[in-house]
Amino acid sequence: MLCLLAVGAQAQTRSKLVDNIVEHATYLASDDLMGRGTGSEYIHLTTDYIADQFQSMELRPYSGDSYLQSFSIPGVSDNESNMIGFIPARRATSSSLVFTAHYDAYGIVDGEVYNGARDNAIGVAALIELARLFTQEVAPEQNLVFIATAAEEGGQYGSRHYSQNPLFPLEEVTIAINIDGFNVSGPREDYFVIPREGIDYLDEIDAIATSLGWVYDSPDWIGSLNTSFDTTTFLFNGTPAFTLWVGDRGKGGEEVQSPDFGPIHSADDEITDQWDWSGVEDHLMLYKAIADYFIEHPTGISVTDTDLFFRAFE
Protein backbone atom coordinates (compact mmCIF):
# COMPACT_ATOMS: atom_id res chain seq x y z
CA MET A 1 0.00 0.00 0.00
CA LEU A 2 2.37 2.65 1.30
CA CYS A 3 5.61 0.78 0.57
CA LEU A 4 6.66 2.95 -2.34
CA LEU A 5 6.39 6.22 -0.43
CA ALA A 6 9.62 5.74 1.49
CA VAL A 7 12.00 4.79 -1.28
CA GLY A 8 12.57 8.12 -2.97
CA ALA A 9 13.62 10.96 -0.69
CA GLN A 10 16.63 9.32 0.94
CA ALA A 11 17.83 7.37 -2.11
CA GLN A 12 20.37 9.95 -3.28
CA THR A 13 22.76 9.32 -0.38
CA ARG A 14 22.27 5.62 0.34
CA SER A 15 24.93 2.95 -0.10
CA LYS A 16 24.39 -0.09 -2.30
CA LEU A 17 24.03 -2.22 0.83
CA VAL A 18 21.19 -0.05 2.12
CA ASP A 19 19.60 0.11 -1.33
CA ASN A 20 19.54 -3.68 -1.35
CA ILE A 21 17.91 -3.80 2.08
CA VAL A 22 15.29 -1.29 0.97
CA GLU A 23 14.55 -3.37 -2.14
CA HIS A 24 14.19 -6.63 -0.20
CA ALA A 25 12.07 -5.14 2.56
CA THR A 26 9.82 -3.27 0.14
CA TYR A 27 9.01 -6.45 -1.76
CA LEU A 28 8.64 -8.67 1.30
CA ALA A 29 6.29 -6.16 2.95
CA SER A 30 4.25 -5.54 -0.18
CA ASP A 31 0.65 -6.56 -0.84
CA ASP A 32 2.03 -8.91 -3.50
CA LEU A 33 2.80 -11.34 -0.68
CA MET A 34 -0.44 -10.70 1.23
CA GLY A 35 1.20 -10.66 4.63
CA ARG A 36 3.28 -13.84 4.26
CA GLY A 37 0.81 -15.82 6.33
CA THR A 38 1.72 -19.33 7.45
CA GLY A 39 -0.21 -21.86 5.37
CA SER A 40 -1.10 -19.34 2.67
CA GLU A 41 -0.34 -19.68 -1.03
CA TYR A 42 1.73 -16.49 -0.84
CA ILE A 43 4.28 -17.98 1.52
CA HIS A 44 5.76 -19.83 -1.46
CA LEU A 45 6.41 -16.54 -3.25
CA THR A 46 8.35 -15.50 -0.16
CA THR A 47 10.47 -18.64 -0.08
CA ASP A 48 11.10 -18.35 -3.82
CA TYR A 49 12.40 -14.82 -3.33
CA ILE A 50 14.70 -15.81 -0.47
CA ALA A 51 15.98 -18.81 -2.44
CA ASP A 52 16.75 -16.55 -5.41
CA GLN A 53 18.74 -14.23 -3.15
CA PHE A 54 20.66 -17.08 -1.55
CA GLN A 55 21.41 -18.53 -4.96
CA SER A 56 22.53 -15.18 -6.38
CA MET A 57 25.32 -15.02 -3.78
CA GLU A 58 26.11 -18.73 -4.13
CA LEU A 59 25.27 -19.79 -0.60
CA ARG A 60 25.55 -23.55 -0.29
CA PRO A 61 22.04 -25.08 -0.24
CA TYR A 62 20.75 -26.91 2.80
CA SER A 63 20.35 -30.21 0.96
CA GLY A 64 21.36 -31.05 -2.60
CA ASP A 65 20.29 -28.06 -4.67
CA SER A 66 17.47 -27.01 -2.32
CA TYR A 67 17.45 -24.34 0.37
CA LEU A 68 14.24 -25.73 1.87
CA GLN A 69 14.10 -27.52 5.21
CA SER A 70 10.46 -28.58 5.22
CA PHE A 71 8.32 -29.66 8.15
CA SER A 72 4.69 -30.02 9.09
CA ILE A 73 2.63 -27.92 11.48
CA PRO A 74 -0.53 -29.18 13.17
CA GLY A 75 -3.58 -27.76 11.46
CA VAL A 76 -1.71 -26.56 8.36
CA SER A 77 -2.28 -28.65 5.24
CA ASP A 78 0.95 -27.85 3.39
CA ASN A 79 4.45 -28.14 4.77
CA GLU A 80 6.25 -24.98 5.84
CA SER A 81 9.96 -24.52 5.15
CA ASN A 82 12.94 -22.90 6.76
CA MET A 83 15.19 -21.41 4.09
CA ILE A 84 18.78 -22.41 4.81
CA GLY A 85 21.98 -21.50 3.02
CA PHE A 86 25.47 -21.71 4.41
CA ILE A 87 29.09 -20.76 3.85
CA PRO A 88 31.40 -23.70 4.55
CA ALA A 89 34.34 -23.19 6.84
CA ARG A 90 37.77 -23.02 5.20
CA ARG A 91 38.74 -26.28 6.94
CA ALA A 92 36.54 -29.24 7.86
CA THR A 93 34.77 -28.53 11.15
CA SER A 94 31.36 -29.14 12.64
CA SER A 95 31.31 -25.83 14.55
CA SER A 96 29.01 -23.11 13.26
CA LEU A 97 27.52 -19.71 13.77
CA VAL A 98 23.81 -19.54 13.06
CA PHE A 99 21.99 -16.42 11.83
CA THR A 100 18.18 -16.33 11.95
CA ALA A 101 15.35 -14.03 10.90
CA HIS A 102 11.75 -15.16 10.59
CA TYR A 103 10.01 -14.41 7.31
CA ASP A 104 6.39 -15.13 8.21
CA ALA A 105 3.82 -12.57 9.31
CA TYR A 106 0.08 -12.79 9.96
CA GLY A 107 -1.31 -12.78 6.43
CA ILE A 108 -4.85 -11.51 6.07
CA VAL A 109 -6.82 -10.83 9.26
CA ASP A 110 -10.47 -9.77 9.10
CA GLY A 111 -10.00 -8.76 5.48
CA GLU A 112 -6.93 -6.59 6.14
CA VAL A 113 -3.38 -7.39 5.05
CA TYR A 114 -0.90 -7.57 7.92
CA ASN A 115 2.24 -6.93 5.89
CA GLY A 116 4.72 -7.38 8.75
CA ALA A 117 7.19 -4.70 7.63
CA ARG A 118 9.06 -4.15 10.89
CA ASP A 119 8.11 -7.65 12.02
CA ASN A 120 9.97 -8.97 10.13
CA ALA A 121 10.42 -8.10 6.45
CA ILE A 122 13.21 -5.72 7.43
CA GLY A 123 14.90 -8.43 9.49
CA VAL A 124 14.96 -10.85 6.56
CA ALA A 125 16.30 -8.10 4.31
CA ALA A 126 19.11 -7.51 6.82
CA LEU A 127 19.82 -11.25 7.04
CA ILE A 128 20.18 -11.49 3.25
CA GLU A 129 22.62 -8.60 3.09
CA LEU A 130 24.58 -9.83 6.10
CA ALA A 131 25.05 -13.12 4.28
CA ARG A 132 26.17 -11.25 1.18
CA LEU A 133 28.85 -9.42 3.16
CA PHE A 134 30.29 -12.72 4.37
CA THR A 135 30.31 -14.21 0.86
CA GLN A 136 32.58 -11.36 -0.23
CA GLU A 137 35.27 -12.34 2.28
CA VAL A 138 37.68 -15.25 2.61
CA ALA A 139 36.18 -18.51 3.84
CA PRO A 140 35.55 -18.32 7.60
CA GLU A 141 36.98 -20.43 10.41
CA GLN A 142 33.51 -21.78 11.20
CA ASN A 143 30.52 -22.74 9.09
CA LEU A 144 28.10 -19.82 8.76
CA VAL A 145 24.46 -20.91 8.55
CA PHE A 146 21.82 -18.40 7.43
CA ILE A 147 18.22 -19.38 8.22
CA ALA A 148 15.09 -17.50 7.24
CA THR A 149 12.78 -19.28 9.65
CA ALA A 150 9.17 -20.17 9.04
CA ALA A 151 6.15 -19.90 11.33
CA GLU A 152 7.73 -17.93 14.16
CA GLU A 153 4.53 -16.04 14.85
CA GLY A 154 2.51 -19.19 15.40
CA GLY A 155 4.86 -20.79 17.91
CA GLN A 156 8.46 -20.55 16.71
CA TYR A 157 8.00 -23.73 14.69
CA GLY A 158 10.87 -23.07 12.30
CA SER A 159 13.55 -22.48 14.90
CA ARG A 160 12.28 -25.38 16.98
CA HIS A 161 12.48 -27.66 13.96
CA TYR A 162 16.00 -26.53 13.14
CA SER A 163 17.18 -27.07 16.71
CA GLN A 164 15.92 -30.66 16.45
CA ASN A 165 17.36 -31.12 12.95
CA PRO A 166 20.45 -28.89 12.74
CA LEU A 167 22.73 -28.74 9.73
CA PHE A 168 25.68 -28.91 12.12
CA PRO A 169 25.47 -30.27 15.70
CA LEU A 170 23.60 -27.95 18.05
CA GLU A 171 26.17 -28.48 20.78
CA GLU A 172 28.80 -27.08 18.42
CA VAL A 173 26.91 -23.89 17.54
CA THR A 174 29.08 -21.11 18.91
CA ILE A 175 26.21 -18.62 18.98
CA ALA A 176 22.87 -18.00 17.24
CA ILE A 177 22.46 -14.40 16.10
CA ASN A 178 18.84 -13.42 15.56
CA ILE A 179 17.44 -10.45 13.63
CA ASP A 180 13.84 -9.65 14.54
CA GLY A 181 13.07 -6.01 13.93
CA PHE A 182 15.68 -3.53 12.79
CA ASN A 183 16.57 0.12 13.10
CA VAL A 184 14.56 2.25 10.68
CA SER A 185 14.43 5.24 13.06
CA GLY A 186 17.58 7.00 11.86
CA PRO A 187 21.08 7.23 13.36
CA ARG A 188 21.33 5.84 16.91
CA GLU A 189 24.13 5.27 19.40
CA ASP A 190 22.49 3.18 22.13
CA TYR A 191 21.70 -0.49 21.89
CA PHE A 192 20.62 -3.39 24.07
CA VAL A 193 20.72 -7.15 23.89
CA ILE A 194 17.93 -9.65 24.47
CA PRO A 195 18.36 -11.52 26.74
CA ARG A 196 20.49 -9.75 29.31
CA GLU A 197 20.06 -12.41 32.01
CA GLY A 198 21.02 -16.06 32.10
CA ILE A 199 24.01 -15.60 29.77
CA ASP A 200 27.68 -14.73 30.28
CA TYR A 201 28.69 -13.04 27.01
CA LEU A 202 27.29 -9.53 27.37
CA ASP A 203 30.77 -8.18 28.19
CA GLU A 204 32.16 -9.51 24.91
CA ILE A 205 29.31 -7.99 22.92
CA ASP A 206 29.66 -4.66 24.73
CA ALA A 207 33.41 -4.48 24.15
CA ILE A 208 32.83 -4.84 20.42
CA ALA A 209 29.95 -2.34 20.37
CA THR A 210 31.87 0.19 22.44
CA SER A 211 34.80 0.04 20.02
CA LEU A 212 32.36 1.11 17.28
CA GLY A 213 30.94 4.01 19.28
CA TRP A 214 27.81 2.30 20.60
CA VAL A 215 26.58 2.72 24.18
CA TYR A 216 24.86 -0.11 26.04
CA ASP A 217 21.59 1.05 27.65
CA SER A 218 19.20 -1.72 28.54
CA PRO A 219 15.58 -1.00 29.49
CA ASP A 220 14.15 -2.83 32.50
CA TRP A 221 11.33 -4.45 30.54
CA ILE A 222 13.41 -6.67 28.27
CA GLY A 223 13.21 -9.65 30.62
CA SER A 224 9.61 -10.01 29.49
CA LEU A 225 10.92 -10.88 26.00
CA ASN A 226 13.12 -13.82 27.05
CA THR A 227 10.90 -16.31 25.22
CA SER A 228 9.59 -14.05 22.45
CA PHE A 229 12.09 -14.76 19.67
CA ASP A 230 13.59 -17.58 17.64
CA THR A 231 16.44 -17.48 20.15
CA THR A 232 14.19 -19.23 22.70
CA THR A 233 14.79 -22.79 21.61
CA PHE A 234 18.54 -22.26 21.29
CA LEU A 235 18.85 -20.69 24.72
CA PHE A 236 16.70 -23.31 26.42
CA ASN A 237 18.93 -25.98 24.90
CA GLY A 238 22.01 -24.21 26.26
CA THR A 239 23.14 -22.63 22.97
CA PRO A 240 24.22 -18.98 23.27
CA ALA A 241 21.95 -16.67 21.29
CA PHE A 242 20.81 -13.06 21.21
CA THR A 243 18.75 -10.42 19.43
CA LEU A 244 20.05 -6.84 19.27
CA TRP A 245 17.88 -3.72 19.21
CA VAL A 246 18.70 -0.02 19.24
CA GLY A 247 17.21 2.62 21.52
CA ASP A 248 16.18 6.26 21.29
CA ARG A 249 19.46 8.13 21.65
CA GLY A 250 20.80 9.82 18.57
CA LYS A 251 24.48 10.29 17.79
CA GLY A 252 25.99 12.43 20.52
CA GLY A 253 23.61 11.10 23.16
CA GLU A 254 20.60 13.35 22.68
CA GLU A 255 17.20 11.75 23.19
CA VAL A 256 15.40 11.41 19.86
CA GLN A 257 11.70 10.86 19.45
CA SER A 258 11.00 7.67 17.54
CA PRO A 259 8.92 7.95 14.38
CA ASP A 260 5.23 7.21 14.66
CA PHE A 261 5.33 3.66 13.36
CA GLY A 262 2.20 1.59 13.14
CA PRO A 263 2.07 -1.17 15.76
CA ILE A 264 3.43 -4.58 14.83
CA HIS A 265 0.96 -7.45 14.45
CA SER A 266 -1.47 -5.09 12.78
CA ALA A 267 -2.47 -3.82 9.35
CA ASP A 268 -0.48 -0.66 10.11
CA ASP A 269 2.90 -2.43 10.16
CA GLU A 270 3.89 -1.12 6.74
CA ILE A 271 6.78 0.75 5.19
CA THR A 272 5.87 4.44 5.17
CA ASP A 273 7.60 7.76 4.67
CA GLN A 274 8.22 7.75 8.44
CA TRP A 275 10.94 5.14 7.96
CA ASP A 276 14.44 6.58 8.15
CA TRP A 277 16.95 4.21 6.55
CA SER A 278 20.03 6.23 7.51
CA GLY A 279 20.82 4.09 10.58
CA VAL A 280 20.42 0.72 8.86
CA GLU A 281 24.03 0.23 7.81
CA ASP A 282 25.42 1.01 11.28
CA HIS A 283 23.04 -1.51 12.83
CA LEU A 284 23.99 -4.19 10.32
CA MET A 285 27.70 -3.58 10.75
CA LEU A 286 27.32 -3.93 14.52
CA TYR A 287 25.79 -7.36 13.98
CA LYS A 288 28.65 -8.20 11.61
CA ALA A 289 31.36 -7.07 14.01
CA ILE A 290 29.91 -9.21 16.79
CA ALA A 291 29.70 -12.20 14.44
CA ASP A 292 33.30 -11.63 13.34
CA TYR A 293 34.41 -11.75 16.95
CA PHE A 294 32.66 -15.03 17.70
CA ILE A 295 33.93 -16.59 14.48
CA GLU A 296 37.44 -15.98 15.76
CA HIS A 297 36.62 -16.77 19.42
CA PRO A 298 34.39 -19.87 19.35
CA THR A 299 34.73 -20.92 23.00
CA GLY A 300 34.29 -19.57 26.50
CA ILE A 301 30.67 -18.39 26.43
CA SER A 302 27.59 -20.10 27.79
CA VAL A 303 23.97 -19.94 28.83
CA THR A 304 24.03 -19.90 32.63
CA ASP A 305 20.31 -20.33 33.38
CA THR A 306 18.34 -22.22 30.76
CA ASP A 307 15.18 -22.15 32.91
CA LEU A 308 14.71 -18.48 32.01
CA PHE A 309 14.02 -19.58 28.46
CA PHE A 310 11.46 -22.30 29.05
CA ARG A 311 8.31 -21.82 27.04
CA ALA A 312 5.44 -24.29 27.00
CA PHE A 313 4.42 -24.73 23.37
CA GLU A 314 1.13 -26.33 22.45
Q: How far is CA 200 from CA 163, 226, 284, 285, in A?
A: 21, 15, 23, 22
Using N-to-C axis directions, what is the helix angle for 122-135 and 43-56, rounded to 10°? 20
Query: Does 212 have pLDDT greater than 50?
Result: yes
CATH number of the 3-309 domain: 3.40.630.10
Give the pLDDT of residue 313: 87
Query: Does 213 have pLDDT greater than 90?
Result: yes
Query: Does 75 have pLDDT greater than 70?
Result: yes
pTM of the model: 0.95
- Residues 162/111, Cβ–Cβ less than 8 Å: no
pLDDT tens sequence across 117-154? 999 999 999 999 999 999 999 999 999 999 999 999 99
- Residues 151/104, Cβ–Cβ less than 8 Å: yes
What is the C-alpha to C-alpha distance for residues 221 and 103, in angstroms, rounded to an integer? 25
- C-alpha dihedral over 185, 189, 195, 198, to 10 degrees? 180
Pairing of the two strands 112-114 and 143-149 = unpaired
Q: What secondary structure letter does DSSP report for 222? A: G
pLDDT tens sequence across 251-261? 998 989 888 89
Q: Domain extents for the chain?
A: 3-309
Give the pLDDT of residue 2: 47
- Residues 25/122, Cβ–Cβ less than 8 Å: yes
What sections of 81-193 are H helices per DSSP? 122-135, 157-164
Residue among 83, 298, 287, 293 at smallest CA distance from 172: 298
Q: What percent of the chain is modeled with pLDDT above 70?
A: 96
- Residues 84/146, Cβ–Cβ less than 8 Å: yes
Total residues found in the chain within this entry = 314
